[in-house]
């Protein structure tokens, strides 16, 4: 039954909702409350139990606290729309369960689409040795005749087929094979001299 609470400042009266609040086993006591008072009382009496409920569902205390706080904020915002204020605690429990389900669904999606772990990076020594090897190969390539160097670069760095190399260099496929084979042999000899 709605009634009016007198306003302290002499302005217009504020509507207040009459609500029953259960206090342990002592029974229900009728109290007139507005949203702030009702949610504050519910928070004081039920916060810990709701956090325990949420923690059991989401398996994380911090997330459980956020879920419960969000449920209380939503209840406060929708207090006037609450059809039966006597069932506010039931509403909160259901809200906590639903929000916990939402968190679990979000986690499942995040885990499903999480980027895979990056492969282990090579050590600094491996990087330095690799750089030395690359520079030795580049120096050896510069010592090769032009056609052999071009054939090797187009084949192994540009990853072109023999037909593409032949077209690029303006020679036959047989000449590409010959220049590539001779270039590899010469490159091997030069690199053996460096080591």
**pLDDT tens, 62-80?**
999 999 999 999 999 998 8
d(CA 55, CA 61): 5
pLDDT at 30: 36
126's enclosing H/E stretch is: helix 124-143
Three-class SS state of 89: helix
- Which H or E run contains 105? helix 88-112
What's the confidence (pLDDT) of residue 15? 42
pLDDT for 44: 95
CA dist 148 and 178 (Å) reads: 9
Return left, alpha or beta for 42; rule: phi > 0 is left, psi -120 to 50 is alpha, else beta: alpha
Q: pLDDT tens across 35-54, in order?
A: 899 999 999 999 999 999 99
Q: Name the packing angle between helices 173-194 and 162-169 (round to 10°).
A: 100
Determine the pLDDT at residue 34.
83
Mean pLDDT in the chain?
81
Whether the per-residue pLDDT at 155 is higher than 80: the answer is yes
Residue 154 is classified by DSSP as: I
Top pLDDT among 51 and 126 is at: 51
Listed range (53-57, 67-71, 133-137, 165-169) with the worst mean pLDDT = 133-137
pTM of the model: 0.46
Three-state SS for 168-183 is HHCCCHHHHHHHHHHH
Higher pLDDT among residues 49 and 15, named by residue: 49
- Which uninterrupted H or E stretch holds 47? helix 35-58
């Amino acid at each position: 039954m709605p009634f009016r609470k007198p306003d302290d400042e002499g302005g217009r009266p504020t509507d207040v909702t009459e609500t029953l609040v259960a206090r342990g086993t002592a029974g229900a006591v009728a109290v007139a409350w507005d949203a702030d008072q009702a949610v504050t009382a519910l928070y004081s009496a039920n916060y810990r139990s709701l956090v325990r409920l949420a923690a059991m569902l989401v398996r994380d205390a911090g997330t459980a606290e956020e879920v419960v706080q969000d449920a209380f904020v939503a209840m406060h915002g929708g207090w006037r729309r609450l059809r039966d204020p006597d069932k506010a605690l039931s509403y909160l429990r259901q809200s906590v369960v639903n929000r916990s389900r939402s968190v679990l669904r979000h986690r499942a999606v995040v885990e499903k689409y999480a980027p895979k772990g990056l492969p282990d990076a090579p050590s600094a020594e491996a990087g330095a040795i690799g750089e030395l090897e690359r520079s030795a190969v580049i120096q050896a390539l510069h010592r090769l005749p032009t056609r052999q160097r071009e054939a090797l670069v187009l084949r192994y760095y540009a990853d072109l087929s023999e037909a593409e190399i032949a077209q690029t260099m303006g020679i036959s496929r047989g000449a590409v094979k010959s220049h590539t084979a001779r270039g590899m042999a010469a490159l091997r000899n030069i690199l053996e001299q460096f080591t």
